[in-house]
Chain A
Amino acid sequence: MTKTVIEVKGLSKKFGEFNALDQIDFQVNEGEIIGFLGPNGSGKTTTIRLLLGLLSPSAGKAWVLGFDSFKQSEEVRSRVGYMSQKFAIYDDLTVRENLEFYAGVYGIHDQRRVIEVCEQIGLEAQFNGLTRDLSTGWRQRLALGIALIHQPRLLFLDEPTSGVDPNARRLFWDLIYSLANQGVTILVTTHYMDEAEYCGRVAIMRDGKILAMDTPSGLKQTIVTGEVVEIATPHLTECLTWTETQEMIRHSSLSGDHLKVILAGGFNISDLNEALRVTLLNIDELKITEPGLDDVFALLTSGL
């Protein structure tokens, strides 16, 4: 039996005339890792703040772990871990002191829990070291440890790995996966496509709306219906102009030495090759590439 951990219905938030969140609906089950993907200002952080009852909605309802986010926000907050973008870690305290401080905030005075969390995030070696000496990757893990101190069943991570290298991010995500395996539900926000690939399901946000929500593979299959082709050419800008006028091309994007085009359903690389031949543009290579979430995002937002 899957248990519903978050349920949101018709949730909206206005700041003055600005629709920060516009009628969103979604549901999250226990143990899922959900990504909220969208540019700055698309409503990701507002969603988290509403779910935690830190903001009151303009319309709609939200339940978190069975509690009403707006009428029972104390209950929600005591059961949810939140790692915000600008997390307060005290630089002149040690790793241990930071963990103890936040444990105290939640009324936890058991040393064993502090040590347990420290082991969980792999910071044993730095336990008595000053926080200011930690690298960005380690700081992020400490922030995660702090969010975990009261053994929450649900974790909100707001842009958790901005500024870390791919390997540190990999290690961070391995931690997230092991938490999910223990039944912890995780909601992550990010504005980077490659990070969203790590999530079990992804909600794509723009202008306060959820444009689509599915597994990364599901999104690619249902939204990118034609082949994705890379065109290597010395005539980049001319070729781009050409692609923008072609009916068989739904979207094109530019890189330093190639173009990537998404073909409309029913068209393939040989149709493209045929059409390009007539243009007399020099083409070095055409090759099919795997669709990515950036292609999904581009197609979803191109009509807006």
Chain B
Amino acid sequence: MIKASGLRKSFGTLEAVKDVSLHIQPGEIYGLVGADGAGKTTTLRLLIGALKADAGSVEICGYDVGSQVEQARSQVGYLSQKFSLYEDLTVLENIHFFAEVRGMHRSEWQPRSDEILDFVGLSEFKERFAGKLSGGMKQKLGLATALVSKPRVLLLDEPTTGVDPVTRQEFWKLMIKLSRASGPEGYSVLLTTPYMDEAARCNRIGFMKNGTIIREGTPTQIRESFQNSVIEVQVDGGQHVKEILSKIAGVEDVRAFGDRLHLIVNKDDVDQITISATKQIKESGYQLRSLKRIVPTLEDAFISLSADDGGTQ
């Protein structure tokens, strides 16, 4: 549904996007993750043809964004970070406005808007002014305006930033319902997020850094690609214990996590490190509360990925 190859875009001397290729299937929810300035939003803007690429090509549902931009865009629903709603229009009026902008006729949008409001759960609030909606409801209305023209591809730029976990859960239900709808109604969703707990919910993730996708795969694949093992230690004694543990052979890194420490260790040395860590903590007179091997988190994987890549900045 989305096929991009070799995308490049520079702003002056800044190479915002360099050689990005994407292949997104129907029914897939793809998360583009990375820091501010990694190139996520620029990539999205290239995909809808809002920016012209310096090199590379994009196809949306078979239409080339360079030469058939109108047809391509008719297949896309786009929700930008700062999407605008007309606060002095009602929920329904907002939907009608966006439908007409997209060239839909009254006979098309009228039945469609009921369907879509029902889908996002705003039917009861049709007549409410958009300015009087809560944050979560505004976000649903934003989504409804992106869905009104029955697009097959949804591009969402940080859709859940600042939204509470309950609303986020409802949002994910909607996304999954959409992507799972069978046949020609099935959507592809591409969303961006700076947060790993959000990324973990996607079918596939691409991690962007400095304009390139440095790793791509399912959340599980990315966790498993992490070369090391993680041992979680709970102990009193903070910084001092951290220093003791970081000196043990085979310990690559010790990361503090609140009341716990994560030891990043070579896979082969887990048993031996477990023994020497336990021993050294006891000898130093600290009380060991727990020590266990844990599954590396996406965060563990990405810290190592972005560090391997030549430092953070």
Contacts and interface: CB of A to CB of B under 8 A. Distances in A.
Interface of A: 33, 35, 38-42, 135-138, 162-168, 170-171, 173-174, 177-178, 180-181, 191-194, 197-200, 202, 206, 215-217, 236-237, 240, 253-257, 289-290, 292, 294, 297-298, 301
Interface in B122-173: 135, 161-167, 169, 172-173
B306 A167 contact: yes
Nearest to B30: A256
Contacts of B177: 237
Nearest to B174: A254
A41 B163 CA distance: 10
Contact of A166 (B201, B203, B256, B306): B306
Contacts of B312: 137, 165, 167-168, 171
A237 B165 contact: no
B238 A165 contact: no
A39 B196 contact: no
Given A255-B201, A290-B295, A164 B35 contact: yes
A217 B260 contact: yes
Contacts of B297: 194
A215 B258 contact: yes
Contact of B256 (A173, A253, A256): A173
Contact of B307 (A41, A167, A289, A292): A167
A206 B166 CA distance: 11
Contacts of A193: 165, 197
A100 B34 CA distance: 33
Nearest first, the 9 A-B pairs at minimum CB distance are A39-B164, A165-B35, A255-B201, A163-B36, A167-B306, A256-B203, A166-B302, A256-B29, A181-B239
Contact of A198 (B167, B194, B258): B258
Given A166-B302, A170-B255, A217-B259, A138 B135 contact: no
Contacts of A199: 258
Interface string B253-288: 001111110000000000000000000000000000
Given A167-B303, A178-B239, A236-B176, 7 more contacts: A137-B313, A162-B194, A165-B35, A165-B302, A171-B312, A198-B257, A215-B259
Most chain B Cβ neighbours within 10 Å, of A162, A171, A177, A256: A256
Contacts of B234: 217
A146 B251 CA distance: 34
A40 B176 contact: no
B227 to A, nearest CB: 16
Contacts of B167: 39
Contacts of A191: 162, 164
A191 B162 CA distance: 7
A191 to B, nearest CB: 7
Given A200-B258, A254-B173, A257-B203, A237 B195 contact: no
A255 B37 contact: no
B112 to A, nearest CB: 22
B101 to A, nearest CB: 29
A165 B302 CA distance: 9
A236 to B, nearest CB: 6
A170 B258 CA distance: 12
Interface in B12-59: 29, 34-38
A136 B303 contact: no
A238 to B, nearest CB: 10
Nearest to A218: B259
B36 A164 contact: yes
A14 B88 CA distance: 27
A40 B135 contact: yes
B176 to A, nearest CB: 6
A206 B167 CA distance: 13
A291 to B, nearest CB: 12
Interface string B168-201: 0100110011011000000000000011110011
B258 A166 contact: no
Nearest to B300: A166
Interface string B92-110: 0000000000000000000
Given A41-B135, A194-B299, A197-B258, A237 B197 contact: no
A193 B164 CA distance: 11
A135 B256 CA distance: 24
A166 B196 contact: yes
A197 B209 contact: no
23 contacts: A35-B258, A38-B164, A42-B164, A137-B312, A137-B313, A163-B36, A165-B35, A165-B209, A166-B196, A167-B302, A168-B312, A168-B313, A174-B256, A177-B238, A178-B239, A180-B238, A191-B164, A194-B196, A200-B258, A216-B258, A217-B260, A289-B295, A298-B165
